[in-house]
Structure 1
């Protein structure tokens, strides 16, 4: 079976090792993860594969990590999820309130799934303002056009640039 763990805690050394130790000691295999620290908080999602008979013990052990200040949510993964074509893009534009909403609303209107999203704001070298940058992994079903998706994003604002990263 596949499990998705969602982990939150005050950041400190050893969090990842502690989770990995609990997973391994209960027969789980760490398959993939996205881990980050922001504003002094550790946040992560982890996909674990595990034999069904070990699920209860692993669940109990992970919940016991609350005593160490770790909050762990556990969801059973869906290994039969619809297959999608993965495409990577980068979106760059002048930063403004609501830009993530604008981008994700355009993607939702095109029925595009956001698989991975990383955003940052950085100083714009020429204007002295702030530049918004996002890297997105998008999931398109067969028949959806990546060109149409890019056009929908570029139509949001004249300052928004979209680059395809998987060409």
Structure 2
């Protein structure tokens, strides 16, 4: 079996996922994992599929043909998963919204060799003041040699500069 990672982007409408799933199924493929979401009238998803090697070219052609229905599909080879030198850490961040929060946090994480596994962000009105409040939740892959305390200290210094609350916790 060949493993592919697909990125799907389309105007949000019923049936987008079903059309992609039908293509995968028609060619004997198996839908392994996915993350999908609707935002601002657009639908986007990333998924990993396995397909028999002999059906791969036909699957790719059919997925590319979905563009005629307004569904863009980008394909990449499935890479190998990182081996054991990582520990999962959850990051929660809340603060007044302002440009640059994600840029500054991800710069510090990159400098520490931390990989961003997943990230969900949103801006919502604060409960009492209705001021825009930025919230981020992330799953980090932290190198085994980097202690949670050392990462916390570096992030807290940045959090003070950004005026945000930041919490790290090891995955249970």
* Fold shared per TM-score above 0.5: yes
Distance 1:147 1:32 in 2: 33
Note the alpha carbon deviations across 1:21-66, whole angstroms, 9 max, x for none: 1111111111111111111111110111222222111111101111
Structure-2 change in CA distance of 1:157 and 1:163 (3 Å): closer
SS at match of 1:59: helix
Could you tell me which residue of structure 2 aligns to residue 140 of structure 1? 142
Question: Aligned Cα RMSD in Å?
Answer: 1.6
Q: 1:14, CA displacement in angstroms?
A: 0.5
**Contact 1:22 / 1:61 at 8 angstroms: preserved in 2?**
yes
**Contact 2:159 / 2:166 at 8 angstroms: preserved in 1?**
no
SS at match of 1:13: coil
Could you tell me which residue of structure 2 aligns to residue 88 of structure 1? 90
Could you tell me which residue of structure 1 aligns to residue 3 of structure 2? 2
Q: 1:135, CA displacement in angstroms?
A: 0.6
Q: TM-score, normalised by structure 1?
A: 0.92
Note the alpha carbon deviations across 1:61-117, whole angstroms, 9 max, x for none: 101111111110110111254443222221111111111111111111111000100
Could you tell me which residue of structure 1 aligns to residue 43 of structure 2? 42
Could you tell me which residue of structure 2 aligns to residue 111 of structure 1? 113
Which ranges of structure 1 fall in alignment gaps of 5 or more residues? none
**Contact 2:92 / 2:135 at 8 angstroms: preserved in 1?**
yes
